[in-house]
A and B are shown apart, each in its own frame.
Chain A
Amino acid sequence: MSDPRNGYEREHAREYERKYEKWSALMDRQALSEALTGDETSFCKHFAQEHPECTRELEVYAELSTLNDQPDDVSRALVDAALQRMEAEDTAPRVAEVRSLRDNRARVLAVASFALAAAAVFALYVRPSPKHSERSDTEELRGAQAVTLLRAELVYASGNVSVGGVAATVGRTLLAEGSLIETGNGAACVLIDPDINVCLAAQSRMRLSKLATRARRLDLLSGKASTRLATQPEGMSLSIVADGVASTAIGTAFSVERAPNGEGVVTTVLNGKVRVGREGQTQIVSAHERSTVSSARADLKPMSRSEEAPSWALLGPTALWHDPVSATINVHGEPMAAEALLDDQPIGMAPLSSLIPVGAHHLVVRNGSGQVLMERELHLVAGETQEITYAKLLETQVAFAPKPEALAKSSSHGTEQSAKLLTKEELQPAAKAEELVPARLSAAELLRDARKLMREGRFAEAGTTYETVRHDYPESEEAQTVLVSLGQMQLVQLKDPTRALGSLNAYLVRGGTLTQEARVLRIQALAALGRDADETSAIEEFLAKHPHSFETAALRARLSSLREEQ
């Protein structure tokens, strides 16, 4: 027989549940700004007073509605950090803006071109008075300047080159006014519209201080810069300013160098004329003359051809992008500072990034001893970017590598493989010709190198090495598995989920032992791209196929969160 007290307690519990649900519903309605009746308000008040869980809930909401905004040490630190960050963003060249500028360039030019075309059509139909015509011409010139002066671009980077403190490569770097370009052990060239080439020597720093004005100004903060520019539109000039000394030219070639130890500014004029000096104290320097301006004196003397040669040499790479139908090559590998030769002509030190004319080329990379590290035939099409990796010689290869003089002979034979042209006498020691070219690294060795590059944080190079595995050993097992490592690196280190997704999708076509990992990475890539629906499907597929995976719990939570947001 049942205890009547149990029945009473059950009834009491049911009554409590009913009232608690009523109280909860009324409180939720109130939270949605719905008005409660007097009875309902009274019920809520009395029920909450009698039940501690309700009291606690009201306490939590009371605490939630209170926001202590009294300053403390943490908020003071926040102020300092925010103000510093803001100042840094305001003064430093804005890389993000540069990227945005790049993205918008085509659109801006298209809009500007359209606007100019519209203006031209309008001009055909409207016959202005002479005065009006004068003003329109000026305005049109200004408009044209605003468009043409928009583009300043890094077209050559040899050695360690950075823009705004960020390592820079060609083809991806449009420069904004205020950009700071620094060179390490190589050189860098900037092409500024209309047709101004400025090349920086090693260990130099230059700021593009004013671009969007008639009087463009570049500040040479250290080192040396050479420039060659076409005749500029009337009223426009270019000045390179170093230590308060401005070298201003229209249609000429010249170099400016800050002498070491603050011993003045040296301007070497190669062509045309340049106005050099401080404000109010300038002199005209003609071709083949060199001016030295220091705080104590201003010298001017003629120059021999050999004295001019280093300044011309600095401008040597400009021939590479003389033809606007160009492609980009990025040459990198170990050891750094290896010399690159394109069609037998030295073009700079690696890592090297440069525009070059499209078509067939012969590229050789050699180390400081002149030994060939890599030799390759290139076939480039307009707009293409080709990544080229070389590797250092293995110890066993060093002994068999061709001597520099042997290379010189082989290079003169155009596109033939150098090793095939060498004679035994040219070898050191004698060896079979086929042993001379650095042995191609095996897939396993390339993977080992890629992992080492990853550890050193050289992700782009690691990516290129992974790609080399795919390219050189397309049928190998490594060529398949490397897609997962590549995808992971593209996603996590290079922050490029689109490319990561491509690598992972490619892996999953055939699949393999890393299918589960590839699926997880693919989910992450879809999340990074904000493709919520695709991510949801991918998680569902994963959970169906790998229900006991280590990642299942995390993925279920993620799925729940995604469904909630959808």
Chain B
Amino acid sequence: MHSVSNIPVDGAVAADLSLMRRVAGGDKHAQRVLAHRLAARVKRISRRLLRNGADAEDASQLALIEILRSAGTYKDISSIERWADRITVRTSLRHAREQRRKPWHFGGFIDAETVGVAPEETPSGQSTPRSVEEYLDELPAARREVLVMKHTLGYTTEEIAELTQNPVGTIKDRLVAARKQLRKVITRDMRLGAHGQEKK
């Protein structure tokens, strides 16, 4: 008996198992079918978890490859999507950690030729409501990740603790801190008349 809401019904379970076995066996067609089924989901989860678009793109590619390579480990205790979500989260968080450890640049010094390009300017004077991604961009990485895992993926604090290898207490603190920070941004936007202009 499956307890997760998006578990497929019996016939679909058998079809999914068969698909995953073919993927694990190296069937190129099956790999493509599975990749198409999951790509959009993988891409959007990575994008929600990671602030930097390029990092998210890399992470989603790595996650999709990891999913295809791990097909042999799939068991029908959850849907393919939910199983793939965990791989996507793990891969994205690992990628984010690696990126954070890469050298980061300031303004030019020593040798201008070796300094990275300046970040793109952000558009100003927007008056339309922000998207969820824009709100998430206001949060530090650790809070953002917890918020997405909780509210987008529906994970429990225990599951998030396991995935991020942090104590449950830390996850709870981060979740509440993330919600408070998001609330501040929302109320500030409301007072400013959406985003950028003082409300009259």
Interface residue ranges, A against B (CB under 8 Å):
24, 27-28, 31-33, 52-53, 56-57, 60-61, 63-65, 67-72, 74-76, 78-79, 81-83, 85-86, 89, 451, 454-455, 484-485, 488-489, 491-493, 497, 514, 517, 520, 524-525, 527-530, 550-551, 554, 558, 560-561, 564-565
Contact = CB atoms under 8 A, between A and B. Distances in A.
A326 B152 CA distance: 59
Given A60-B186, A79-B36, A560 B175 contact: no
B186 A82 contact: no
B183 interface: yes
A78 B64 CA distance: 9
A28 B190 contact: no
A524 B175 contact: no
B140 A560 contact: yes
B136 to A, nearest CB: 8
A56 B182 CA distance: 11
B92 interface: no
Interface of A is mostly: helix
Given A32-B175, A528-B103, A560-B140, A82 B65 contact: yes
B200 to A, nearest CB: 16
Interface string B49-85: 0000000010011001100110000000000010000
Contacts, number: 148
A49 B115 CA distance: 52
Contacts of B64: 78-79, 82
B86 interface: no
Contacts of A63: 131-132
A28 B176 contact: yes
Interface stretch (B7-15, B37-45, B120-128): B37-45
B149 to A, nearest CB: 11
A139 B110 CA distance: 61
18 contacts: A53-B187, A60-B182, A64-B151, A67-B48, A72-B40, A75-B40, A78-B43, A82-B39, A83-B31, A83-B35, A85-B61, A89-B65, A451-B111, A493-B114, A528-B101, A528-B103, A550-B107, A551-B107
A156 to B, nearest CB: 33
Contact of A69 (B40, B100, B113, B147): B40
Contacts of B113: 454-455
Interface of B is mostly: helix
Interface residues of B, number: 59
A64 B134 CA distance: 11
A86 B65 contact: yes
B111 A488 contact: yes
Contacts of A53: 186-187, 190
Given A24-B180, A60-B132, A554-B106, A69 B41 contact: yes
Task: Tell me which of A27, A64, A76 has the highest count of chain B C-beta atoms within 10 A of its own C-beta.
Answer: A64
Task: Tell me which of A82, A85, A517, A524 has the highest count of chain B C-beta atoms within 10 A of its own C-beta.
Answer: A82
B188 to A, nearest CB: 10
B40 A27 contact: no
Contacts of B25: none
A223 B77 CA distance: 55
A423 B147 CA distance: 82
A165 B65 CA distance: 22
B109 A517 contact: yes
B100 A527 contact: yes
A20 B57 CA distance: 39
A489 B131 CA distance: 40
Contact of A86 (B69, B100, B148): B69
A492 B104 CA distance: 9
B61 A488 contact: no
Interface string B134-171: 01000011110001101110101100000000000000
Given A67-B45, A71-B40, A530-B101, A86 B176 contact: no
B140 A83 contact: no
B151 A76 contact: no
The 9 closest A-B CB pairs, nearest first, are: A69-B41, A75-B40, A75-B39, A82-B64, A79-B35, A64-B151, A551-B106, A524-B103, A63-B132
Nearest to A87: B28
Contacts of A68: 40, 44
Contacts of B101: 527-530
B2 interface: no
A86 B106 CA distance: 35
A79 B31 CA distance: 10
Given A28-B176, A528-B103, A561-B141, A65 B65 contact: no
A492 B106 CA distance: 13
Contacts of B152: 64-65, 67
B167 to A, nearest CB: 13
Contact of B104 (A81, A89, A524): A524
B41 A491 contact: no
B111 to A, nearest CB: 7
A64 to B, nearest CB: 4
Contacts of B107: 550-551
Contacts of B104: 524, 527, 554, 558
B179 interface: yes
Contacts of A27: 179
Contact of B61 (A81, A517, A551, A564): A81
Nearest to A33: B156
Contacts of A52: 190
A520 B108 CA distance: 12
Contact of A82 (B61, B81, B148): B61
Nearest to B135: A60
A528 B102 contact: yes
B22 interface: no
Contact of A517 (B110, B154, B180): B110
A128 to B, nearest CB: 38
Contacts of A31: 150-151, 175-176, 179
A33 B168 CA distance: 13
B39 A71 contact: yes
B68 A86 contact: yes
A89 B66 CA distance: 12
A24 B183 contact: yes
A558 B140 CA distance: 10
